[in-house]
Structure 1
Amino acid sequence: MSTFGQAFKVTTFGESHCKSVGCIVDGCPPGLKLTEADIQVQLDRRRPGQSNLTTPRSETDTVTIQSGTELSYTLGTPICMFVPNKDQKPHDYSETDFFPRPSHADWTYLQKYGIKASSGGGRSSARETIGRVAAGAIAEKYLKAHGVEIVAFVSAVGPVRLDFLDDISGDNGKILSDLINTVTRDQVDKNITRCPVDSASEKMAEEILKRKEEKNSIGGIVTCVIRNCPVGLGEPCFDKLEAKLAHAMLSIPATKGFEFGSGFQGTKLSGSEHNDPFVSDGKGGLKTIKNHSGGIQGGISNGEHIYFNVAFKPAATISIGQESSKYDGSSGVLEARGRHDPCVLPRAVPIVESMAALVIMDALMIQNSRALSNSRLPPIPENLRAINPLGQKVKLT
């Protein structure tokens, strides 16, 4: 429904043109220092009207914490946050009384519920992601205490693509590795496209502006890296960490694809080329050489950087007249109005980061619960080293 997570639960609420949007976070540990300023940073990166590459809708997206904190510290009780919708123009959507918009959720919502929001996309609108970003900011602040760092960036807009998306061998593999190891949010945010590679960013901006002038739209890819993720997160079989990440990413509006690690490029390699030998990390543990696994093996984090790509389709609402059918089946031409992004990619970056934070936060709390339970048991006997070669208990991460 509208809730994500098991131990760290987030429920989002609100439609694109109702009075407000927001979320309720349940399960946040008590004692975390938290103010609106901690959350506003990511909301500012997501908000509309940031540049001429985004929708001109004017929203400050100012967040208010309603509950769950006192004197700037979390109480362990549900945290309610809301953001008002101030620049509403529902009359811009009167044509949707007659037409289900192509590639939108108008028709499917109507078939499912027998009713739909009359303006904007309702719950299917990207406005809903404000609650995700607010909740993700809380998760991220907690994760920083564990050294976890999450950075996403735009790696493709239409035909303009960073080379590693099509080939991870040789120099392209090194470029990918360097970005995964070193890219920062400051580097990402210095360009309005949120691509940290200047030469590619310029071409991406040109592509987006071209589509905007045509009253059209364009899609692309966001790449995300999670650095310093604790080892042991994720559950075998159905709740593998990559499966949870895929679930999170594909729940974001306009997403059409997900791949992690070597992804589809890895299918071009042989087993000997793709396999990742282990070596000592110099700290009493092990690390992999290539990280083609993308930081996850057997559905469980292995301590390497986790990285993945998320594909976003072109924004469905465009101002070009489109031949389509009305609800009554008669044909017509839909000329959409309203204010929309010619490309959702620059504003999608903090949404991807936030959903990644929610997945890792939830997995960390689940693993800590397991480790605490394990710590109450006596050590595994020495003669059973075959099932526990290190002779250790599960550690709290």
Structure 2
Amino acid sequence: MSSTYGRFFQVTSWGESHGKAVGVVVDGCPAGLPLTEADIQTLLDRRKPGQNKYTTARKEGDEVQILSGTFEGKTTGTPISMVVFNQDQRSRDYSAIMDVYRPGHADYTFDAKYGFRDYRGGGRSSGRETIARVAAGAIAEKILGELGVTVRAYASRIGGIDASDTEAVQAFLDQKIAEQDSVGGIVECRITGVPAGLGDPVFEKLDANLAKAIMSIGAVKGVEIGDGFAVAEACGSENNDAFRYDEEGKICKKTNHAGGILGGMSDGSEIILRAAFKPTPSIAQPQETVNRATGENVEIQIKGRHDPIVVNRAVVVVESMAAITIVDALFANMHSNMDGILRYYR
């Protein structure tokens, strides 16, 4: 099972939804970066459950502990290990589904691959695994902040409604909760301050790695960069971004249909990506499934505490995975040409 992401800035996630803890090891962070548990906690607080009626009622403080890799408030250059202990597990909520596969979940595929599954909330397939990504993302964002790079994600659409129309969104969500249903949505992420030239022209394209990073988030079913799927209906004269010199004599673009990436490499303009999140599969409506123990077709109603929508808590996860990917690309780019190597060692 692959639980490591990145080449030069490596993130290894571990733990299960209803195990003792979840955590992450970050390897490749340079020494001397100011880092405290408070820095990590700020991002973790944005994804923790129980914050409003549109998130699961599971009560978790999600308090992080840094176990290694820092000394006197700064990183040491060694692996940074972090842990969040699970508090409110209530595994009994899942005992009724130990032999049935929940529609829309990874129950069946996990069982088909490994020959068993952790039915207590999905185990490694649970959204709680994203704690590791956010903790690592906090470190990545600290690094990017030192370089003047910012990563900002937000919900742009919820259930087909513009997220800025809060009254319409809340009314729609309330309706779906009453119907014991769930809702999907779109998270948009904008990355500014990225220098031109990050990424490779073939298998390590920046847009390909961003897509992989975002698609690795459990509920994501689609990723687009720049104009995305709309380019299929555009003409070259409409889609091409014209180059020009700005007032300071720097090369820039008049438009940004490409979303900040050309030929797999950053072009210096804002990187824009969007992630489509499916509706939360755990709904209380009756659903058809099978019982593997009896070999019967059965009906199931999911009980327990579940998010009617994951988009609001997933925003910081998208932001974190984007930040991790950009840091990894920055580190990879440090030895891409002789000038860079000579500048460092001379």
Asked if TM exceeds 0.5, the reply is yes
1:234 CA drift (Å): 0.6
Instruction: Indicate the residue corresponding to 2:328 in structure 1.
Output: 362
Q: 1:233-248 alignment to 2 at 5 Å? A: 233-248=198-213
Instruction: Indicate the residue corresponding to 2:174 in structure 1.
Output: 209
Structure 2: runs of 5+ lacking an equivalent: none
CA contact (8 A) 1:249 1:352 kept: yes
SS in 2 for 1:369: coil
SS in 2 for 1:54: coil
Which is worse superposed, 278-287 or 106-115? 278-287
Instruction: Indicate the residue corresponding to 1:179 in structure 2.
Output: none
| TM-score normalized with structure 2 length | 0.96
User: Cα deviations across residues 13-47 of structure 1 (Å, max 9, x unaligned)?
Assistant: 01110010010000001000000111111100000
Q: Distance in 2 between matches of 1:116 and 1:26?
A: 29
Instruction: Indicate the residue corresponding to 2:36 in structure 1.
Output: 35
User: Cα deviations across residues 117-146 of structure 1 (Å, max 9, x unaligned)?
Assistant: 131111110000000000000000110111
Q: Distance in 1 between matches of 2:167 and 2:85?
A: 34
Instruction: Indicate the residue corresponding to 1:84 in structure 2.
Output: 85
Identity fraction in percent? 49
Which is worse superposed, 28-37 or 209-218? 209-218
Instruction: Indicate the residue corresponding to 1:348 in structure 2.
Output: 314
Q: Distance in 2 between matches of 1:232 and 1:201?
A: 39
CA contact (8 A) 1:64 1:81 kept: yes
SS in 2 for 1:316: coil
Instruction: Indicate the residue corresponding to 1:304 in structure 2.
Output: 269
Detail structure 1 runs of 4+ shifted over 3 Å in the superposition: 373-377
User: Cα deviations across residues 358-389 of structure 1 (Å, max 9, x unaligned)?
Assistant: 00000001101334x44456xxxxxxxxxxxx
CA contact (8 A) 1:157 1:207 kept: no
CA contact (8 A) 2:68 2:82 kept: yes
Q: Distance in 1 between matches of 2:94 and 2:43?
A: 28
CA contact (8 A) 2:335 2:341 kept: no
User: Cα deviations across residues 157-198 of structure 1 (Å, max 9, x unaligned)?
Assistant: 11313xxxxxxxxxxxxxxxxxxxxxxxxxxxxxxxxx4x2x
Instruction: Indicate the residue corresponding to 1:333 in structure 2.
Output: 299
| Alignment partner of 1:269 is 2:225 | no
Instruction: Indicate the residue corresponding to 2:99 in structure 1.
Output: 98
| Alignment partner of 1:287 is 2:287 | no
1:326 CA drift (Å): 1.1
More strand, by proportion: 2
Q: Distance in 2 between matches of 1:113 and 1:50?
A: 35
Q: Distance in 1 between matches of 2:233 and 2:102?
A: 39
1:219 CA drift (Å): 0.5
Q: Distance in 2 between matches of 1:375 and 1:69?
A: 28
Q: 1:137-176 alignment to 2 at 5 Å? A: 137-161=138-162
SS in 2 for 1:237: coil
The code of the aligned residue for 2:291 comes to K
The code of the aligned residue for 1:157 comes to I
Instruction: Indicate the residue corresponding to 2:191 in structure 1.
Output: 226
The code of the aligned residue for 2:201 comes to P
CA contact (8 A) 2:334 2:341 kept: no
Q: Distance in 2 between matches of 1:63 and 1:26?
A: 18
SS in 1 for 2:309: coil
User: Cα deviations across residues 275-309 of structure 1 (Å, max 9, x unaligned)?
Assistant: 11101023332111111010000100011000011
The code of the aligned residue for 2:34 comes to K
Q: Distance in 2 between matches of 1:228 and 1:376?
A: 22
The code of the aligned residue for 2:67 comes to Q
SS in 2 for 1:308: strand
The code of the aligned residue for 1:28 comes to C
1:77 CA drift (Å): 0.2
CA contact (8 A) 1:95 1:336 kept: no
Which is worse superposed, 261-270 or 352-361? 261-270
CA contact (8 A) 2:107 2:119 kept: no
Instruction: Indicate the residue corresponding to 1:260 in structure 2.
Output: 225
Instruction: Indicate the residue corresponding to 1:178 in structure 2.
Output: none
Q: Distance in 2 between matches of 1:348 and 1:20?
A: 20
How many residues get paired? Answer: 343
Instruction: Indicate the residue corresponding to 1:251 in structure 2.
Output: 216
The code of the aligned residue for 2:205 comes to K
CA contact (8 A) 2:16 2:126 kept: yes
Instruction: Indicate the residue corresponding to 1:26 in structure 2.
Output: 27
Task: Please give the root-mean-square deviation of Cα atoms over the aligned residues, in Å.
Answer: 1.5
Instruction: Indicate the residue corresponding to 2:3 in structure 1.
Output: 2
CA contact (8 A) 1:95 1:334 kept: no
Q: Distance in 2 between matches of 1:245 and 1:284?
A: 30
CA contact (8 A) 1:223 1:307 kept: yes
The code of the aligned residue for 2:247 comes to G
The code of the aligned residue for 1:276 comes to D
CA contact (8 A) 2:283 2:302 kept: yes
Q: Distance in 2 between matches of 1:376 and 1:232?
A: 16
Q: Distance in 2 between matches of 1:395 and 1:257?
A: 40
